[in-house]
Structure 1
Amino acid sequence: MLPNRMTLDKKTEEQLKRLKQNIGVTPNVLARIAFFRSIESGYEYTASERKLDGNLVLDKVTWLGDTMLLTEQLLRSKYPSSRPKELMTCWAAHVEDGIASLRNHRTLLSFTSNL
């Protein structure tokens, strides 16, 4: 399914780090929330050149936690012909899409009230 080591693009990574500073939630948990928000919104990744150049390289268990099997199955069903590296790019695109609606929160209260 997904590769063991996963990364995001720099822009998304910076937004996750900024949110962590503002509200205290770790980037991997924020990435999970952003991914599922993107899936719920109906976002569909279309193949384009995307550079995953972030410095935060974590294993998929850290990125996905208890949602790993569900995340991989959602990606596999949504993008059935994609290879593992392509699925990582799809995952990163969904995180980027989902973080767009979360990135401007300044407090944990405003963040949780938006969920």
Structure 2
Amino acid sequence: MVLLLEADGSFITNEEYARMLYQNPRGISCAKCHGEKGEGKVLSTYVDHGKSHSIQAPPIYNLSMERFKKALSRKGRLMPQYFLTEWEMAHLYYYLLTQNPDYNKNKTKGKKHDS
């Protein structure tokens, strides 16, 4: 068995680490509330005084880096406060960008294809 190391000596790539944080229940598991690709989802529905309401986690794949970082460190909200390093926040942010359909569409624009 051969294990390949990244140039920095790690066993996984930066993208794999970010995906693990995002999706793994033992990571911070953003996917549980915000969906597999950061699209957001309904967390719960309830009825109050005969009216139906829902609690929703918003889409996060299209936030600016500044708003993304604020959301991760804000106290007193439904979402727990996370204590991530700048490196972890940046890699999570860029991982989410790759999940954004508009990002992927724009990334392929302008590429020349051999015909």
TM-score (norm 1): 0.28
Higher helix share: 1
Higher strand share: 2
